Structure 1
Amino acid sequence: MDVDRDKKGKQHRLVLEDREKLQISGITDVGSFNDNTVVISTELGDLVIKGDDLHIVSLDVNAGNIIIQGFIFSCVYAEKALYKKEKGFFKSMFK
């Protein structure tokens, strides 16, 4: 995996409270979301959040902040190829 680790000046933070509330700063875009998966682009890479009954409580892309609630299973930084199938699912669902 090729990751550029020289990210001076870029800030990104994850705060997970009791596996039920996730606050993230440094987001640049929300790629897709449903009850089980949220795909977010951040200043430091793409992030895939998996869980149950996930919903976005607050989103401010201009400020770079998001709050997600639900039961969080995992937060994984991933290459785009790893979640490409999920994006394809959403595209076909909303055609």
Structure 2
Amino acid sequence: MDDKKTTRGRSHSILMENRQKVSITGVQDVDSFDESTVLLVTDMGYITLHGADLHISKLNLEEGQLIVEGEIIALQYSDADYIGGKGSGILSRIFR
């Protein structure tokens, strides 16, 4: 069986500390971010972080590492089909 989600060969992990700091490995890209939402592309699919006062304190895409700090409310995995669905493009977000 072909596992297309682990194409980079890196491990993927999430370590959350007291809902104030999350370290994620296997990060390929940061699709978007603001103080309340961070959308990541990882080796295992998309991850959406929801919270308040979120900021990226470390980003190293060569090593696939990311650290986000702030008040973390939720962390959710999604498939590419879900994220790329109707009405989720940048133009639809601008013209809401």
TM-score range, shorter chain: 0.7 to 0.9
Q: Secondary structure, in 3 states, of the residue corresponding to 2:19?
A: coil
- 1:67 is matched with 67
Amino acid at match of 1:40: L
Alpha-carbon shift at residue 22 of structure 1 (Å): 0.4
Q: Which runs of 5+ in 1 are unaligned?
A: none
Structure 1 length as normaliser, TM-score?
A: 0.78
| Equivalent residues in 2 for 1:36-47, closer than 5 Å | 36-47=36-47
1:15-94 residue pairs with structure 2 within 5 A? 15-80=15-80, 82-83=82-83, 88=90, 92=94
Identical residues among aligned pairs (%): 30
Long gaps (5+) in structure 2: none
TM-score by length of 2: 0.77
Matched residue pairs, number? 90
What is the DSSP-based 3-state SS (H/G/I as helix, E as strand, rest coil) of the residue aligned with 1:63? coil
Distance (Å, rounded) in 2 between the aligned partners of 1:30 and 1:90: 19
Aligned alpha-carbon RMSD (Å): 2.7
1:18 to 1:5, Cα distance in 2 relative to 1, 3 A: farther
